[in-house]
């Protein structure tokens, strides 16, 4: 049997379209893991974490023998791999994931949410979605002897995901796809979904955690980031800016980064939303805001050159159009009116989370280098500063898109 190896803290990157700079990784015949960055530099990753991933695949109800398994994706929390299984002449790919149970405390219930959402989406004509493969014991996950939770999903072929949109159509499609996702879940039957991470988008709570991390200052990093601490504290008002308690609670995605949508590789039409771990009751504006945060900017959240971090109003317009197209039938006037504010709140929230994690010594997000979380925080704050100069423009764009459909806003 081939032994596949991966490094626990390694941040696998792979099949998405490369704009900002990617690295690929591979396992050689001696089972050593190497990373190949976008400059073609090969480096061997040391202190590799040894596990037999193929055995995990074999716990699921799939036919064939696993002949290939590579790290994939660029998530900050879970570990993702693509496994190729062969049966006779037929080859089929699957996505294997280890659910980070430090972050998701109830993986079994999470998988219950996941499978309910997936089954419901499959009832919608013409839609594609992530499909979970049950384990041989009938559960939707496999719990291994080390206490790790694994899941296997069908791999969707012929698609791509983006780090930044290259044109309006791509931005429109990504936004339409997330909007359609929300629309499709309006009639999800059954009991309320479990909150996989309670208070996930409670910006005030995020601010409180930041304040606590600052008080503790376990790594003695606060003195070197004073400028950014002031930035956060000076914008505390954003914590309550959305006033979500006034808004309807709906089933939302909660992690609408641009790369959590698959587009058809050829037509570039939206195929489906992926990464369903945080699908739970929430506010549509968090989804909208998080998409704008990651899509209406010419660089990814890992960009090192802050001068490149700017808000793109034209892309924002395409996002509003795509999102509105899929959601205008159910969005309330109040929700629409806050589409201009939501991106600033979410960008602030993410900046606060990254800076908090930096102060805590990088306990939550995977990092590739010591200042990674600090740099991510700076990117968010730079983007927020840029957005602040476009508030009127954003309001005008939302009004224009509504008017174009003849919607008359009440109040
Ligand atoms: C995390 O793991 P990933 O990349 O799907 C995080 C999101 C952040 C994102 C920032 C459960 O998502 O909230 O927006 O990093 N997910 C969780 O890149 O915390
Ligand atoms: Mg995620």
Closest ligand by atom to 276 CA: 2
Is residue 64 scored above 60 in pLDDT?
yes
Residue 259 Cα to ligand 2 middle (Å)? 10
The Cα–Cα gap between 306 and 319 comes to 23
Q: What is the pLDDT of residue 33?
A: 52
Q: What is the pLDDT of residue 411?
A: 60
Q: Which atom of ligand 1 is nearest to the CA of 301?
A: 18
Helices 342-359 & 226-234, crossing angle to 10 degrees? Answer: 140
Residue 366 Cα to ligand 1 middle (Å)? 10
**Residue to mutate (ligand 1; options 255, 300, 345; most atoms within 8 A of CB):** 255
End-to-end CA gap in the chain: 67
Angstrom CA distances, 203 to 35, 230, 282, 365, 390, stand at 36, 17, 13, 18, 22
Residue 242 Cα to ligand 1 middle (Å)? 21
Q: What is the pLDDT of residue 73?
A: 76
Is residue 358 scored above 90 in pLDDT?
yes
Is residue 383 scored above 50 in pLDDT?
yes
- 66 vs 297, which has greater pLDDT? 297
Token pair recorded at residue 287: 């989804």
Residue 277 Cα to ligand 2 middle (Å)? 7
Task: Name the residue at shortest CA distance from atom 15 of ligand 1.
Answer: 76
**Range of lowest pLDDT (27-31, 201-205, 228-232):** 27-31
Token pair recorded at residue 217: 């200052």
The per-residue pLDDT for range 198-225, each reduced to its tens digit, is 999 999 999 999 999 999 999 999 999 9
Q: What is the pLDDT of residue 94?
A: 97
Angstrom CA distances, 276 to 116, 316, 376, stand at 11, 24, 23
Query: H-type helices in 123-217, by residue range?
Result: 168-184, 203-216
**Residue to mutate (ligand 1; options 72, 76, 252; most atoms within 8 A of CB):** 76
Residue 77 Cα to ligand 2 middle (Å)? 7
Q: What is the pLDDT of residue 74?
A: 78
**Residue to mutate (ligand 1; options 13, 73, 77, 275; most atoms within 8 A of CB):** 77
Measuring from each residue's beta carbon to the nearest atom of ligand 1, which residues come in under 6 Å? 75-77, 103, 255, 257, 275, 278, 301, 350
Task: Name the residue at shortest CA distance from atom 19 of ligand 1.
Answer: 77
Q: What is the pLDDT of residue 78?
A: 94
Cβ-based burial of 1 (10 A; exposed 0-12, middle 13-18, buried ≥19): exposed
Closest ligand by atom to 103 CA: 1
The domain locations on the chain are 3-157, 160-404
Task: Name the residue at shortest CA distance from atom 1 of ligand 1.
Answer: 76
Return the CATH class of domain 160-404. Answer: alpha beta
Closest ligand by atom to 80 CA: 1
Mean pLDDT of 69-83: 89
Is residue 29 scored above 80 in pLDDT?
no
Token pair recorded at residue 404: 């174009």
Mean pLDDT of 124-149: 95
Residue 74 Cα to ligand 2 middle (Å)? 10
Residue 268 Cα to ligand 2 middle (Å)? 22
Closest ligand by atom to 75 CA: 1
Is residue 45 scored above 70 in pLDDT?
no
Q: Tell which residue, 144, 322, 336, 318, has the closest CA to residue 247.
A: 336
Q: What is the pLDDT of residue 5?
A: 36
What percent of the chain shows pLDDT beyond 90?
Answer: 82
Tell which CATH classification among 3.40.190.10, 3.40.140.10, 3.40.50.970, 3.30.200.20 matches the domain 3-157: 3.30.200.20
pTM metric for this prediction: 0.89
The per-residue pLDDT for range 122-135, each reduced to its tens digit, is 999 999 999 999 99
């Amino acid at each position: 049997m081939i032994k596949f190896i991966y490094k626990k803290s390694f941040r696998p990157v792979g099949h998405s379209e490369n704009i900002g700079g990617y690295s690929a990784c591979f396992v050689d015949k001696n089972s050593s893991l190497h990373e190949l960055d976008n400059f073609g530099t090969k480096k061997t990753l040391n202190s590799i974490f040894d596990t037999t991933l193929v055995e995990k695949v074999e716990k699921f109800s799939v036919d064939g023998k696993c002949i290939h398994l590579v790290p994939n994706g660029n998530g900050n929390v879970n570990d993702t791999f693509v496994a190729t299984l062969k049966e006779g002449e037929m080859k089929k790919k699957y996505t294997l994931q280890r659910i980070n149970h430090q972050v998701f405390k109830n993986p079994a219930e999470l998988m219950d949410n996941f499978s309910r959402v997936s089954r419901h989406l499959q009832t919608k004509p013409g839609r594609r979605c992530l499909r979970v493969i049950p384990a041989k014991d009938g559960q939707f996950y496999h719990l291994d002897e080390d206490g790790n939770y694994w899941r296997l999903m069908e791999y969707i072929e012929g698609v791509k995901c983006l780090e930044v949109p290259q044109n309006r159509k791509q931005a429109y499609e990504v936004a339409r796809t997330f909007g359609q996702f929300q629309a499709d879940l309006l009639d999800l039957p059954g009991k309320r979904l479990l909150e996989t991470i309670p208070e996930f988008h409670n910006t005030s709570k995020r601010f409180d955690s930041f304040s606590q991390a600052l008080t503790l200052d376990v790594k003695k990093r606060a003195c070197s980031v004073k400028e950014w601490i002031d930035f956060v504290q000076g914008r505390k008002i954003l914590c309550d800016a959305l006033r979500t308690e006034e808004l309807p609670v709906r089933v939302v995605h909660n992690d609408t980064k641009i790369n959590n949508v698959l587009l058809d590789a050829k037509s570039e039409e939206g195929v489906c939303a992926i990464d369903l771990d945080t699908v739970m009751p929430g506010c549509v504006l968090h989804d909208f805001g998080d998409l704008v945060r990651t899509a209406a900017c010419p660089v990814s959240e890992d960009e090192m050159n802050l001068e490149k971090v700017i808000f793109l109003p034209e892309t924002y317009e395409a996002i509003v159009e795509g999102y509105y197209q899929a959601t205008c039938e159910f969005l309330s006037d109040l929700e629409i009116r806050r589409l201009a504010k939501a991106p600033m709140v979410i960008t602030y929230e993410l900046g606060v989370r990254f800076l908090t994690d930096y102060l805590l010594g990088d306990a939550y997000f995977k990092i590739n280098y010591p200042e990674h979380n600090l740099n991510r925080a700076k990117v968010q704050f730079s983007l927020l500063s840029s957005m602040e100069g476009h508030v009127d423009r954003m309001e005008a764009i939302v009004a224009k898109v509504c008017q174009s459909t003849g919607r008359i806003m009440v109040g």
